Amino acid sequence: MPKVITNISYFRDNDLKKNQTITIEGAIISNIKDSESRETGNSLVIPGFIDLQIYGAGERLFSADPTVESLTIMEDDLLKKGTTGFLACMATNSAEVFNECIKAAKEHRSTAKNCLGLHLEGPFLNPKRLGAHVPAFVRKASLDEIKKLIEFGDGVIKMMTIAPELQDDVVIEYLLNNGVVVSLGHSNATFDEATAAYNKGIQTTTHLFNAMSPIHHREPGIPTAVFSHDKAMASIIADGQHLDFEVVKFAQKLLKERLFLITDAVTACSTGPYQHIEKDNKYVMPDGTLSGSSLTMLAAVKNCVSHCNISLNDAIKMGTLYPAKLIGIENLTANIEIGHQANLLVLDEELNLKEVIFKGETI
């Protein structure tokens, strides 16, 4: 029996199409047409969110409990919040913990719902820009180590954050040749070093402005290199804690479709090297260092609209289409089109979540 959503609005490219009916058969959008009723509804349908950097959800921090059960709990919690695709992120840690996380992801792969794989944020970072990362585990990568890591990952490692100024070109080339999205982050690269990294093929930048060389009028740093490049993308944390909203606003004006949202969200944890304490709508380490956010993707979109003067359509794309393009799934789920997978969110006039549809089924 087809699922039919009537009298809704949705964005087609840059146009808001009103009074529409969407028909779903199985997991696929089978038809979109004008509604027969003249009554205009107040619901907006958007694609499901794609979060490429999240550490924990459902009170589970994946690196502290690297199991299939943790990934399943994260999946269910995030689906209810409208995230229909995500990369489980792991911060710099021991080789043993990394291996356990990768092992769990491989075991979970055959039954995974919205977990798309792993994002390794570290350990190949610059010790001068660690943020909350544990310095004892930080090191330069060797080609042999990277080969073993990617081979052991067997395809579940989708993204990796590195400080390229400290890595050999053969390491970066190997990652790119093996389908890993490489992100420049936790880096002290100069403008020239960052530009060279993007020119070598590094596609994106991890949480723009956080844990990186800043903009200075005589040392333009990584953000200026991103702004000046014609292809480099960047993620950003729009929680008002990691960045002032004015910074998000001007970054979006410069980068447009090259800027996308992440939550960088963690959950409370009192064990292991990453002990996150919730404080004033953010998380900090026991020493007070800012760590992850308490953000959801929907809250990030709302913040962009309410505080950053970003249009609703652009804000939605920052949480859906742009991250999907980066990891190559935009033709599957990031647009509302006939033939695309029916991962859809129904929002009310206040942008509150009314319904989550995942692969054609209401969650």
Any idea what the CATH number is for the domain that residue 30 is in?
2.30.40.10
Backbone angles phi, psi at 129, to 5 degrees: -135, 50
pLDDT at 42: 86
Do 83 and 220 lie in a common domain? yes
pLDDT at 40: 67
Instruction: State pLDDT tens for residues 29-43.
Output: 999 999 887 666 789
Whole-angstrom distance, CA of residue 359 vs CA of residue 163: 37
CATH of the domain at 278: 3.20.20.140
Do 30 and 64 lie in a common domain? no
Do 298 and 350 lie in a common domain? no
Do 248 and 297 lie in a common domain? yes
Nearest to 45 by CA among 74, 77, 98, 3: 3
pLDDT at 289: 85
pLDDT at 270: 84
Nearest to 126 by CA among 93, 181, 165: 165
Rounded to the nearest 10°, the torsion over CA 93, 109, 171, 174 is 180
Q: Which of 51, 65, 239, 264 is catalytic?
A: 264
Query: What are residue 350's DSSP bridge partners?
Result: none
Query: What separation in angstroms does the CA of 275 have from each of 123, 285, 316, 336, 338?
Result: 18, 6, 32, 40, 45
pLDDT at 110: 96
| b/e code 263-274 from CB counts within 10 Å (16+ = b) | bbbbbebeeebb
Do 41 and 55 lie in a common domain? no
Do 321 and 351 lie in a common domain? no
Q: Which domain holds residue 162?
A: 48-331
Residue 109 CB burial class (10 angstroms; 0-12, 13-18, ≥19):
middle
Do 122 and 30 lie in a common domain? no
Do 35 and 172 lie in a common domain? no
Do 77 and 118 lie in a common domain? yes
For 204, the 3-state DSSP assignment is strand
pLDDT at 19: 93
H/E segment holding residue 83:
strand 83-91
pLDDT at 288: 85
Do 163 and 298 lie in a common domain? yes
pLDDT at 28: 95
Residues 6+ apart with CB under 8 A from 118: 87, 88, 89, 90, 101, 102, 105, 153, 156, 157, 158, 159
Do 286 and 356 lie in a common domain? no
Do 281 and 271 lie in a common domain? yes
H/E segment holding residue 170:
helix 169-177
Instruction: Please say if 264 is a catalytic residue.
Output: yes
Whole-angstrom distance, CA of residue 313 vs CA of residue 202: 27
Based on the structure, what is the number of domains in the chain? 2
pLDDT at 71: 98
Give every residue of the chain whose pLDDT is below 50, as ranges: none
pLDDT at 144: 97
